[in-house]
Amino acid sequence: MNNKDNNSPIIEVKNLVVSFGSFKAVDNISFSVNKGEIFGFLGANGAGKTTTIRTICGILNPSSGKICLYGEDISANTSNIKTSIGYMSQKFTLYKDLTVKENMDFAGALYNISKKDIDQQMKKLFGFINFKEDENTIVQNLSLGVKQIIALCATLIHNPDIIFLDEPTAGVAPQVRADFWRLIKQLTTEGKTIFITTHYMDEAEYSDRLVLMQTGKIIAMGTPIELKKQFSRDTLEEVFLAALLRGNSK
Ligand SMILES: Nc1ncnc2c1ncn2[C@@H]1O[C@H](COP(=O)(O)OP(=O)(O)OP(=O)(O)O)[C@@H](O)[C@H]1O
Ligand SMILES: [Mg+2]
Residue 65 belongs to a domain: no
Residue 216 lies in domain:
35-49+84-248
Counting the structural domains of the chain, the total is 1
239 CB within 6 A, ligand 1: no
Task: Please check whether residue 17 is in contact with residue 28, taking contact to mean a CB–CB distance below 8 angstroms.
Answer: yes
CA of 198 to the centre of ligand 1 (A): 15
Residue 153 belongs to a domain: yes
Name the band, by pLDDT with cuts 50, 70 and 90, for residue 7. Answer: low
Residue 159 belongs to a domain: yes
- At 175 the pLDDT is 84
Ligand 1 atom with minimal separation from the 199 CA: 25
Question: What SS3 class is residue 168?
Answer: coil
Neighbours of ion ligand 2 (CB under 5 A): 49-50, 90
Rounded to an integer, the average pLDDT of 35-63 is 95
Residue 96 belongs to a domain: yes
User: pTM for this one?
Assistant: 0.93
Which amino acid type is present at position 13? V
**Between 247 and 36, the higher pLDDT residue:** 36
Q: What residue owns the CA closest to ligand 1's atom 29?
A: 46
Question: How many residues comprise the chain?
Answer: 250
Ligand 1 atom with minimal separation from the 47 CA: 21
Whether the pLDDT of residue 249 is over 50: the answer is: yes
Residue 22 belongs to a domain: no
Least confident of 31-45, 85-99, 204-218: 85-99
CATH code, domain with 150: 3.40.50.300
Residue 4 belongs to a domain: no
Helix orientation angle between 174-189 and 115-129, rounded to the nearest 10 degrees? 120
Residue 73 belongs to a domain: no
Ligand 1 atom with minimal separation from the 21 CA: 4
Residue 14 belongs to a domain: no
Q: In angstroms, rounded to a whole number, what is the distance separating the alpha carbons of residues 18 and 36?
A: 27
Q: In 98-235, which ranges are continuous DSSP H helix?
A: 100-110, 115-129, 144-155, 174-189, 201-204, 224-230
